[in-house]
A and B are shown apart, each in its own frame.
Chain A
Amino acid sequence: MTATEPVDTTSDTGAPTRRITVTVNGERRVAEVEPRLLLAHLLRQGLALTGTHVGCDTTNCGACTVLYDGAPVKSCTMLAVQADGHEVTTVEGLGTPSELDPVQEGFVAEHGLQCGFCTPGMMLAARALLNRNPDPSEDEIRWGLSGNLCRCTGYQNIVKAVRWAAEKEAQ
């Protein structure tokens, strides 16, 4: 775990800020934030982790899904200050290029993406689903991912990708 330089996400408005410490993808990060800064913005702008996408910005699409202490949350609907003292996993922390998470491998193997916009959120939601239920049926996958919308409507292959990951992990 490495500590990095504090990130200042505030503009020079003189608005009160808070210093928060968040473990992002296993790394301790310190940031100076205004309370109204959303977690999605801390990740994207503050920490340059642009794998977390903002789609609808109204809590509907799930593109901004990250894991918060292991549970999937819509990061456009949480305040960055709420992550103080907590752990956040973004798609950047799901696997590494040389060692992908089985969910990521599944998306490759089954062509689980088209434009890719929904993909980070889908994969984190899928990861959370498999952590809770390692052998989900097709129906359970569809329900489990129903908080994530794919505007390319590539659901068929997304479901297959999650099944692929479940089967790999069962081996």
Chain B
Amino acid sequence: MYPSRFRYEAPRTLDEALALLAEHGDEAKILAGGQSLVPMMKLRFAAPGVLVDINGVQGLAYHQEVPGGGLRVGALCRHVDLEHSAILPGAQPTMAAAAPLVADPIVRTRGTLVGSLCHADPQGDWASVMLALDGAVVAASPRGLRTIPVGEFVVGTFQNALEQDEIAVEAVVPAAQGTRSGSYLKLERRVGDFATAGVAVALESDGGRVVRAGIALTGVGPATIAAVDAQQALLGSSLEPDVVERAAELAAAVARPRTDHRGTADYKRHVVATFVRRILTAERAPAGAAA
């Protein structure tokens, strides 16, 4: 299989890349890690007339903490960079848990977090993680920069909120209001597969009480789902067993899974509840203490 014909451009700067998008409009597509776009082009699900390869653009391959809290992830930060990050394990437990579960090790060499958000696959792991963290995407265009919350960025199945002339330059996680905790759990049929169901939980607590909670679901609806009621149920709590149970039920209730080759709708909803319960129960038990 090979893609249909296209014109290939490899800009060296962001301005050059933006100029190419401005010139070619909806004919053009950005190529980042290519781990979703190239397979789609080979299958002829995508046939851009102009491919703007941003891999040579300098200054986009970073992830770094923001002074005062928070994290910035550049458009060319690869999954593998996050998997082996020295920063994430302490600062961003939900991201650290998800990084080794995205695709497989070879795909992770090339694929990017920002590209994954742009791809807006309901099965994409990063969109759930970033939604739970209340993250945002920063888009550049000839008009300047704008920041789009992930909840508004992912507008539907394979649909993002970018204008034709915009490039996502980075994803950002805001500073925590308290101590950060959380995790990501994913059920896959075999290693490297997309999620049968996945759950991202990101908590911020102060004095043993939850002051902010993010819960987002992967692969159980037409787009990434924020479990808003479940989040609400955790606020002010210390993750008491009845609160955890309630959150698990509320999260399962907003899942809209479909029965497919990965499992039945009921099964996936059950997995969502189980994962919410597991993550919250582990968070309640301090590391090292008997559960």
Q: A residues engaging B (CB < 8 A)?
A: 15-16, 18, 34-38, 41, 57-60, 62, 65, 68, 71-74, 76-79, 81-82, 84, 125, 129, 132, 143-148
Contact = CB atoms under 8 A, between A and B. Distances in A.
Contacts of B2: 36-38, 41
B106 A35 contact: no
A98 to B, nearest CB: 29
A15 B1 CA distance: 18
Nearest to B2: A36
B38 to A, nearest CB: 5
Interface in B1-57: 1-8, 10, 34-35, 38-39, 41-43, 51, 53, 55
Contact of B105 (A58, A77, A78, A125): A125
A147 B105 contact: yes
Contacts of A38: 2, 42
Most buried by A among B2, B80, B191: B2
A135 to B, nearest CB: 16
**Shortest 4 CB-CB contacts between residues of A and residues of B:** A147-B104, A35-B8, A147-B106, A146-B191
B192 A146 contact: yes
Given A15-B5, A38-B2, A77-B38, A82 B55 contact: yes
Given A57-B42, A79-B38, A82-B55, A146 B104 contact: yes
A84 B10 CA distance: 11
B100 A143 contact: yes
A145 B39 CA distance: 21
Contact of B5 (A34, A79, A84, A129): A34
Contact of B8 (A41, A74, A79): A79
B109 A77 contact: no
Given A16-B7, A78-B38, A147 B107 contact: yes
Interface string B91-116: 00000000010011111111000000
A76 B1 CA distance: 9
A57 B1 CA distance: 7
A144 B100 CA distance: 10
Contacts of A76: 42
9 contacts: A15-B5, A35-B5, A36-B5, A38-B42, A58-B1, A59-B107, A145-B105, A147-B103, A147-B192
A148 B38 contact: no
Given A36-B2, A143-B100, A18 B8 contact: yes
Contacts of B105: 72, 125, 129, 143-147
A80 B53 CA distance: 13
Given A68-B109, A147-B105, 15 more contacts: A37-B2, A41-B2, A57-B42, A60-B192, A62-B106, A71-B109, A72-B105, A77-B110, A82-B34, A82-B55, A143-B191, A146-B191, A147-B103, A147-B108, A147-B192
Given A35-B51, A77-B39, A82-B55, A72 B106 contact: yes
Most buried by B among A15, A18, A57, A74: A74
A145 B104 CA distance: 8
Interface in B149-193: 191-192
B239 to A, nearest CB: 30
A76 B257 CA distance: 32
A36 B55 contact: no
A73 B106 contact: yes
B277 to A, nearest CB: 26
Contact of B107 (A37, A68, A74, A84): A74
Contacts of A79: 8, 34, 38, 53
